[in-house]
Amino acid sequence: MRVNSSSDRASECVPSRATGMEGGIVIKDDWPGYSLELFTYPEHYREDIESVYIPHGVIMDRFSTSCGKECWCVPHFYQPGRLGGLQEVIETERLARHIMDDIGDHDMVVLCVLKGGYKFCSDLVEFIKVQCRNSNKHLETRVEFIRLKSYLNDQSTEDLHIIGSQDLSVLRGKNVLIVEAIVDTGKTMKALLKHVEAFEPKMVKVAGLLVKRVSNVVGSLPDYVGFEIPNRFVVGYALDYNEYFRDLNHICVISEIGKVKYKI
């Protein structure tokens, strides 16, 4: 494990898009990521990734919760520099609890944005279930899926393309939690919110695992953020580059070789 040094701290006093805890863990612009040789990854991606940006275990700890109950395990907390690049926020239970406090009073529909959102959605729904189990609360949670296409190679495109069924009348009168893997300019999210609101849900919240620090921000910040990251093209944990890399556990930065190899 890397030893702390001040240059390893990725996230001190950096202007962030967020205000307050809900902004998520902030990763600094010059965070290089971890060397590949420190982790396991599929052999077929050996040349195609540059570094491990956010290890899978860290993503899990960002969600994992103490639930405030004695029977559950203590959250994995990060001391400054313990993992080199992460801010010492971590009351990770806050992510879980915030969601449940805000929308856990009423029947909830989780709207998973495929395909990139599927891992985040699956893991998030799992810990929401754990929350409910530990608080002996019954919360009717449905999961619905919507498929959007908005990236070509590594560039975000203009249009919001909804693939498959557009009928979201199941959302009417419910608390909706949109679960998206990554928010970039916010254009896609803004268009999706408009589409969802037409079906008259009771409340809509957005959970984004990753939010990019970009200059041309269109929409507002998601309500719940896992990590705020620099404007780099990341892959893994269901995030793809032309359908590749979804089978990579960690969030990584793609290499130039990878970009060319899997280009359309």
Partner 1 sequence: MAYIQIPDDEKGYKLDLFCVPKHYEEDLDQVIIPHGLIMDRTERLARDIVRDMGGHHIVALCVLKGGYTFFADLLDYIKALNQNSDKSVPLTVDFIRLKSYCNDQSTNIVKVIGGDELSTLTGKNVLIVEDIVETGRTMETLLSLLSECNPKMVKVVSLLVKRTPRSSGYRPDYIGFEVPDSFLVGYALDYNEYFRDLSHICILNENAKEKYKV
Where on the chain is the footprint of partner 1 (CB under 8 A)?
40-44, 114-115, 118-119, 122, 125, 129, 132-133, 136-145, 147, 163-165, 238, 243-244, 246-249
Q: How far apart are CA 66 and CA 8, in angstroms?
A: 28
Would you say 237 and 59 are in contact if contact means Cβ atoms under 8 Å apart?
yes
Which residue lies nearer to partner 1 by CB, 86 or 148? 148
To partner 1, the closest distance from the beta carbon of 118 in angstroms equals 7
To partner 1, the closest distance from the beta carbon of 117 in angstroms equals 11
To partner 1, the closest distance from the beta carbon of 37 in angstroms equals 13
Which residue lies nearer to partner 1 by CB, 21 or 152? 152
Which residue lies nearer to partner 1 by CB, 41 or 224? 41
Would you say 142 and 110 are in contact if contact means Cβ atoms under 8 Å apart?
yes
Is residue 29 flagged as an active site residue? no
- How far is residue 176 CA from its own chain's centroid? 17
Which residue lies nearer to partner 1 by CB, 101 or 247? 247
- β-strands 251-254, 49-54: how paired? antiparallel
Q: Which of 8, 184, 223, 240 is catalytic?
A: 184
Which residue lies nearer to partner 1 by CB, 70 or 140? 140
To partner 1, the closest distance from the beta carbon of 202 in angstroms equals 16
Tokens of 147: 């498929």
Which residue lies nearer to partner 1 by CB, 14 or 114? 114
Q: From residue 89, how far is each of 21, 83, 231 by CA, in Å?
A: 8, 13, 21
To partner 1, the closest distance from the beta carbon of 220 in angstroms equals 28
To partner 1, the closest distance from the beta carbon of 196 in angstroms equals 18
Q: Catalytic site residues?
A: 184
